[in-house]
Amino acid sequence: MKKVAVLCTTIAAFLLAAAITPRKASPSRANLTALKLRYSLSCRVAPNLAPDAGDIPPLKGWGPHRWKITTKSDSTQFYFNQGINLYYAFHTLEARASFNKAIRFDSTCAMAYYGKALALGPTINYGNGYRAEYAAYEAALKSKNLSDQCTPAEKGLIAAIAKRYSADSTFDLKQLQTDYSAAMQSLAAQNPNNADIITLYADALMLEHPLGPLRHRYDP
């Protein structure tokens, strides 16, 4: 009985202390942002744990599409073409490897880094909660830094892809998708005859609504 009495007394003391302890004021929006940056974790696959296609060779059977980019390297041009064909076919791992190999042949090619940033991002196969690894932001930034000699259309694509990622791992993903889509909409309006830009604009729209093209039964 004494143990029960002591236990009841201890519980009562805790409850009383909680009742009389003054509550802290709710943090401001600025303080909440600071707390998020300090304590939030981003759930993503570390680059060294993600599957990688490695040193990818030339692949056959992925289509004849060609996209001329600003580079003096035929090999960079070849692997960029391979990468974009694979990206359009939703083979993103192989696309990443192809763009990486394009960079190896011309490390100053802005569009090769653009392709890498594109392939590292979300696709309609991922939900709205997918957060790209930091390497995507780095590739987009590198592309921008190397873009002085690019064509106006290439510069537009590079500027758009920069809006798709943020160095802040807590930044609102939906806002990033909306900003990217808006940038691609503007670029598509300026280049109505560029099939790649129009295709990538459609891709950006689908990223805003991954299951939008499907009915509730998940059929087209």
Pure H helices in the chain: 2-20, 29-39, 74-88, 92-105, 110-120, 134-145, 152-162, 173-190, 195-208
Contacts of 164 (CB under 8 A, 6+ apart): 117, 121, 132, 136, 140, 176, 177, 179, 180
Question: Is the per-residue pLDDT at 6 higher than 80?
Answer: no
Q: Which of 1-5, 27-31, 80-84, 98-102 has the lowest mean pLDDT?
A: 1-5
How open is the CA angle 130-131-137, to the nearest 5 degrees?
A: 145
pLDDT at 4: 47
- Residue 130: pLDDT band (50, 70, 90) is confident
Mean pLDDT value of segment 34-50 = 46
Domain segments of the chain as ranges: 73-208
SS3 117: helix
Where residue 28 falls among pLDDT bands split at 50, 70, 90?
Answer: low
Higher pLDDT, 194 or 52: 194
Convert the pLDDT of each residue in 86-96 to its tens digit: 999 999 999 99
**The tokens 């998020």 sit on which residue?**
36
Measured at the CA of 195, the angle between CA 124 and CA 176, to 5 degrees, comes to: 40
Architecture of domain 73-208: Alpha Horseshoe (1.25)
Contact between residue 119 and residue 84 where contact means Cβ atoms under 8 Å apart: no
